C-alpha cells in the first residue's frame, strides 16, 4: 500500500495514493461546478439574503445555492463521508472522511463585484477540528479567472496542475504579509492594535478578503507569510494542506496546530520570526 507523508509534520498515513488522487479529483470537480454556479449568479443582481454574527457578516443566495450543489454532488460521489459546511450543512461520517466546505470564501468581495473570492473544499480524516484533523486533499477554486489550487497529502501543491512552492525565507523587514479581520467590531479594534506593532516591522501588509486565497498566495510564493485571528475550519482546511504541500508550515501561536485564536502560515523560518512578533503583540488574544 502506498504511504503518504505529510510535509509539515512528517506523519505517515496509510491512505493509498490512488484514493488521495480520487479525493483531490472530487474536490476539484465539485469546486469548479460550484464556482461556475456562483460566477453565473453574479451576472444577475446580488443581494444580501441574511446576516450571521454581525450586520456585515453576510450570506447571499449564491452562498446557499452553491453549498446545496456541493452537498448534493458529494452525496452522489462519496456516499457515507461526513460534511462540515459554512452555511450550516453537516453530516456525520461513516467512513472517517469529512468534507469541509466554504461555498464562497470572500463573500464581501463577491457582493461588491471584486474578483478575489473562491470555493474552498477539503476532505479531512478524523474529527473536522483543526487541532486534530489530517487534511488529506483539497481544492481552492477562484471562479473569476478559473484558477484551481489543489493538493493531496504527500503529493505536492499545484496551481492549474503546475507545482508551486512557498517563497524562500526572508527577513521580516522584507516580508509581504497577508492578513484578514474579523466581522466583530470589538475584535477588529484589537486587530488594529496588533497591526500597529506588525506594520512597522514588515515590507507591507495585504488584506485581500479571502483567507483561502491568502493561503494559496503563500503556497505560490506570492505572499511571504500570512496570519489571522478568527478563522473557521472551512476558511482553513484546503489552504492549510496547499501550504504544507508547497513546503510551508501552518501553525498556531501557543498551539502547534492552527486554531481560531491564530493561524500563521509561510516558510518555517519566516513563520518563526512572525510568530515571535505576534506573540509579543498578543495577537491571539484580540477576541477576548
Work out how close the CB of 257 gets to ligand IPD at its nearest, in angstroms, rounded to a whole number: 18
Asked whether position 184 contacts ligand IPD by CB under 6 A, the answer is no
Q: Which residue is nearest to Ca ion (CB)?
A: 105
Phi and psi, residue 209, nearest 5° = 95, 5
User: What whole-number distance in Å separates Cα of residue 208 and Cα of residue 57?
Assistant: 16
Minimum distance of ligand IPD from residue 209's CB (angstroms)? 5
Choices 32-40, 169-177, 203-211, 215-223 (CB under 6 A): range interacting with ligand IPD: 203-211
Residue written as grid cell 503546475: 162
The one among 235, 245, 273, 284 contacting ligand IPD by CB under 6 A: 235
The option from ligand IPD, Ca ion, none interacting with 87 (CB < 5 to 8 A, set by class) reads none
Angle at 232 between CA 229 and CA 238, to 5 degrees: 110
**Per rule CB under 5 A, is residue 67 in the interface with Ca ion?**
no
User: 38 near 48, Cβ under 8 Å?
Assistant: no
Kindly report the length of the chain.
Answer: 288
Grid coordinates in use for 231? 478563522
| Of 81, 102, 155, 284, the one binding Ca ion by CB under 5 A | 102
Residue window 37-76: x/- pattern of binding to ligand IPD, with contact defined by CB under 6 A: ----------------------------------------
Residue 284 found at the interface with ligand IPD (CB under 6 A):
no
E-assigned strand segments in 86-229: 90-91, 97-105, 118-125, 134-142, 147-152, 157-159, 162-163, 176-179, 204-206, 225-228
Q: Round to whole Å and give the CA distance between 25 and 27.
A: 5
Rule CB under 6 A: is residue 100 a binding residue for ligand IPD?
no
Which chain residues interact with Ca ion by CB under 5 A?
Answer: 102, 105, 235
Which chain residues interact with ligand IPD by CB under 6 A?
Answer: 86, 102, 105-107, 180-181, 209-211, 228, 230-231, 235
Amino acid at each position: 500500500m502506498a504511504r503518504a507523508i505529510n510535509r509539515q509534520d512528517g506523519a505517515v498515513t496509510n491512505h493509498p495514493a490512488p484514493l488521495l488522487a480520487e479525493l483531490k479529483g472530487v474536490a476539484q470537480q465539485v469546486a469548479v461546478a460550484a464556482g461556475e454556479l456562483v460566477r453565473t449568479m453574479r451576472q444577475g443582481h446580488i443581494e444580501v439574503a441574511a446576516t450571521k454574527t454581525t450586520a456585515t457578516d453576510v450570506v447571499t443566495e449564491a452562498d446557499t445555492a452553491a453549498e446545496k450543489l456541493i452537498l448534493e454532488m458529494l452525496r452522489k460521489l462519496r456516499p457515507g463521508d461526513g460534511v462540515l459546511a459554512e452555511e450550516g450543512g453537516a453530516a456525520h461520517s461513516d467512513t472517517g472522511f469529512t468534507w469541509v466546505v466554504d461555498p464562497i470564501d470572500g463573500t464581501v468581495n463577491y457582493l461588491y463585484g471584486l474578483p478575489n473570492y473562491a470555493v474552498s473544499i477539503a476532505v479531512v480524516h478524523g474529527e473536522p477540528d483543526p487541532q486534530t484533523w489530517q487534511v488529506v486533499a483539497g481544492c481552492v477554486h477562484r471562479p473569476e479567472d478559473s484558477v484551481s489550487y489543489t493538493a493531496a497529502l504527500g503529493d505536492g501543491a499545484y496551481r492549474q496542475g503546475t507545482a508551486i512552492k512557498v517563497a524562500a525565507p526572508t527577513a521580516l523587514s522584507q516580508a509581504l504579509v497577508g492578513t484578514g479581520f474579523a466581522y466583530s467590531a470589538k475584535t477588529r479594534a484589537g486587530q488594529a492594535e496588533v497591526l500597529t506593532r506588525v506594520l512597522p516591522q514588515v515590507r507591507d501588509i495585504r488584506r485581500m478578503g479571502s483567507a483561502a486565497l491568502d493561503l494559496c498566495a503563500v503556497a505560490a510564493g506570492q505572499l511571504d507569510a500570512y496570519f489571522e485571528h478568527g478563522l473557521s475550519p472551512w476558511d482553513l482546511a484546503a489552504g492549510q494542506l496547499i501550504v504544507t504541500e508547497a513546503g510551508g508550515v501552518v501553525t498556531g501561536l501557543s498551539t502547534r496546530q492552527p486554531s481560531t485564536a491564530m493561524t500563521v502560515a509561510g516558510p518555517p523560518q519566516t513563520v518563526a520570526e512572525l510568530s515571535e512578533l505576534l506573540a509579543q503583540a498578543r495577537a491571539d488574544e484580540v477576541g477576548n
